[in-house]
């Protein structure tokens, strides 16, 4: 019997992968403790966020943020909330209104906490306006209609689309484009990336969304976790090459073991 | 023509009027849509979650559901400033549990299954094309190393793969959106105006 009651055989590769991720994270945290500092390459889309907020401040117009239709258990939503913290910090510093209509009540609640905390951290707790970070509806297109209408009425100078997007991506991005706003998008929703690429000034592709938070804050723990992900990607490349070579020249099929 | 079809057609036109500019007709349709959907999802939440997951088990004597019910009540703590910190407990649980559930599923679906599908014998152009695409695209997503020299050339190949993928998905999705528009126009010209039999 090769299956333990509490660990089915088909779950063992997941456990090994999970342990590899944990080991990589532990490795970077130990390096950080020894004084190693981490840095990542510049991400033009992330660097443009400050420029976009600055432009909105100069024009006296608001910044519009949306995390699309993702729920709180989506990694992209968590990454978007991390970026939101940096955006809220800067808008509070500059005294620029930030609007964030939301599709999910739990995300809206967490977002209110994030914006409130960022405003306090910036020394301007009064910059947090609960009425500007609000839940609209769970309906995808009900939310899209409201967010588009709101964009038309507010005429924001900067629109930031960070998170999980579906069919609403192009509707929102086209509306923002029509307002002449500087547009920055970041999503791991692969199908929607094409729409953001054509309608936005800057688009962070896939994993760049997760790196954006660290790039903006310079937080060593976040940057360290990005470096750990790079190590894991190197391991994946190595595994792919080994697996492909074994499949080509031997009868051993590594793919079937995963 | 039924009253339902008439209302649907007028609201479709009101939403389409956004293509010109934001106007009171669009605003009316927008607020109707938001209000109706919020009400609909509230009913779904009550009927689909609160009644079968909390009230019915309570009636059946399953007192364990009191624990999640207390967490629901704590979320409502946000309504007053004094009780607001209490709402962070269920939120922390939702985020922590959500991430915990998502991580193994993502490792399985997005890494292991993809790895398995890519480890093919290098005996055909398609298999080599796929392997090169996956590796160079992964190189593009390395953040701790600048895209310079031979590494930068690999990343550029990865960028090409990405752009080809985006072009293909763009065309595919535009086609599906056009079919949605055709469906709506068929409704307007057929059911509403009666021009299409």
Q: Is B104 on the interface with A (CB under 8 A)?
A: yes
Q: Is B28 on the interface with A (CB under 8 A)?
A: no
Give yes or no for a contact between A176 and A156, defined as CB atoms under 8 angstroms apart.
yes
Residues B129 and B194 in one domain: yes
Give yes or no for a contact between A38 and B60, defined as CB atoms under 8 angstroms apart.
no
Q: Which domain holds residue A58?
A: 44-217
| Out of A227, A233, A255, closest to residue B141 by CB | A233
Provide the pLDDT confidence category of residue A2 given band limits of 50, 70 and 90: low
Establish if A154 belongs to a structural domain.
yes
Residues B26 and B88 in one domain: no
* pLDDT tens, position by position, A47-71: 899 999 999 999 999 999 999 999 8
What is the predicted pLDDT for the residue at A184? 97
Give yes or no for a contact between B107 and A18, defined as CB atoms under 8 angstroms apart.
yes
Percent of chain A with pLDDT over 90: 76
Name the domain boundary from B85, B119, B153. Answer: B119
Domain containing residue A164: CATH number: 3.40.50
Percent of chain A with pLDDT over 70: 98
Establish if A131 belongs to a structural domain.
yes
Residue A123 gets the label, from left (phi > 0), alpha (psi -120 to 50) or beta, of: left
Q: Report chain B residues whose CB lies below 8 A from the CB of A186.
A: none
pLDDT > 60? residue A192: yes
Residues B135 and B96 in one domain: no
Query: In a 10 Å sphere around its CB, with 0-12 CB exposed, 13-18 middle and 19+ buried, how is residue B96 labelled?
Result: exposed
Residues B125 and B186 in one domain: yes
Partner A, chain B 122-161, Cβ-Cβ below 8 Å:
122-123, 127, 131, 134-135, 138-139, 141-147
Q: Which domain holds residue B97?
A: 68-119
Residues B132 and B196 in one domain: yes
Residues B80 and B56 in one domain: no
pLDDT > 70? residue A3: no
How many domains, chain B? 3
- What is the pTM for the complete model shown? 0.87
Taking the alpha carbons at both ends of chain B, their separation in whole angstroms is 13
Q: Report chain B residues whose CB lies below 8 A from the CB of A113.
A: 88, 91
Find all residues with CB under 8 Å of A100, minimum gap 6, and list them.
Answer: A64, A65, A66, A67, A84, A111, A115, A132, A133, A134
* pLDDT tens, position by position, A92-119: 999 999 999 999 998 998 999 999 999 9
How many domains, chain A? 1
* pLDDT tens, position by position, A165-188: 998 999 999 999 999 999 999 999
- What value does the mean pLDDT take over residues B48-67? 91
């Amino acid at each position: 019997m090769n299956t333990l009651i509490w660990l089915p055989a088909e779950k063992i590769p997941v456990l090994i992968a999970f342990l590899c991720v944990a080991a990589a994270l532990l490795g970077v945290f130990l390096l950080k403790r020894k004084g190693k500092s981490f840095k990542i390459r510049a991400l033009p889309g992330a660097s443009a966020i400050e420029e976009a907020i600055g432009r909105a401040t100069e024009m006296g117009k608001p910044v519009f943020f949306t995390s699309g239709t993702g729920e709180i258990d989506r990694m992209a939503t968590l990454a978007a909330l991390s970026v939101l913290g940096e955006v809220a910090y800067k808008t509070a510093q500059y005294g620029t209104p930030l609007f964030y209509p939301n599709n999910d009540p739990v995300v809206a609640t967490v977002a209110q906490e994030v914006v409130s905390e960022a405003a306090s951290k910036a020394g301007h707790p009064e910059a947090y306006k609960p009425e500007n970070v609000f839940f609209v509806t769970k309906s995808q297109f009900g939310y899209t209609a409201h967010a588009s209408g709101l964009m038309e009425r507010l005429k924001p100078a900067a629109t930031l689309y960070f998170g999980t997007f579906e069919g609403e991506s192009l509707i929102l991005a086209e509306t923002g484009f029509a307002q002449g706003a500087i547009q920055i998008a970041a999503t791991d929703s692969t199908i929607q990336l094409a729409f953001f690429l054509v309608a936005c000034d800057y688009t962070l592709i896939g994993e760049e969304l997760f790196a954006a938070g660290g790039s903006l804050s310079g937080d060593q723990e976040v940057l360290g976790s990005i470096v750990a992900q790079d190590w894991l990607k190197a391991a994946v490349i190595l595994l792919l090459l080994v697996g492909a070579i074994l499949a080509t020249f031997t009868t051993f099929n590594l793919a079937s073991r995963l | 023509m039924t009253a339902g079809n008439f209302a649907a057609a007028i609201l479709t036109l009101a939403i389409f009027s956004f293509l010109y500019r934001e106007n009171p007709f669009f605003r009316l349709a927008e607020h109707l849509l938001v209000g109706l959907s919020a009400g609909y999802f509230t009913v779904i939440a009550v009927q689909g979650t609160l009644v079968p997951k909390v009230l019915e088990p309570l009636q059946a004597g399953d007192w364990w559901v009191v624990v999640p019910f207390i967490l629901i009540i704590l979320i409502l703590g946000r309504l007053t400033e004094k009780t607001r910190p209490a709402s962070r407990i269920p939120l922390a649980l939702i985020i922590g549990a959500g991430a915990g559930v998502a991580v193994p599923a993502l490792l399985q679906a997005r890494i292991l299954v993809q790895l398995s599908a890519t480890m093919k014998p290098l005996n055909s152009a398609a298999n080599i094309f796929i392997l090169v695409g996956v590796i160079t695209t992964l190189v593009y997503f390395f953040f701790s190393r600048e895209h310079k020299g031979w590494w930068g050339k690999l990343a550029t190949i990865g960028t090409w793969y990405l752009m080809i993928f985006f072009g293909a998905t763009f065309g595919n999705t535009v086609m599906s959106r056009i079919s949605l528009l055709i469906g709506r126009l068929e409704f307007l010209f057929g059911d509403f105006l009666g021009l299409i039999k």
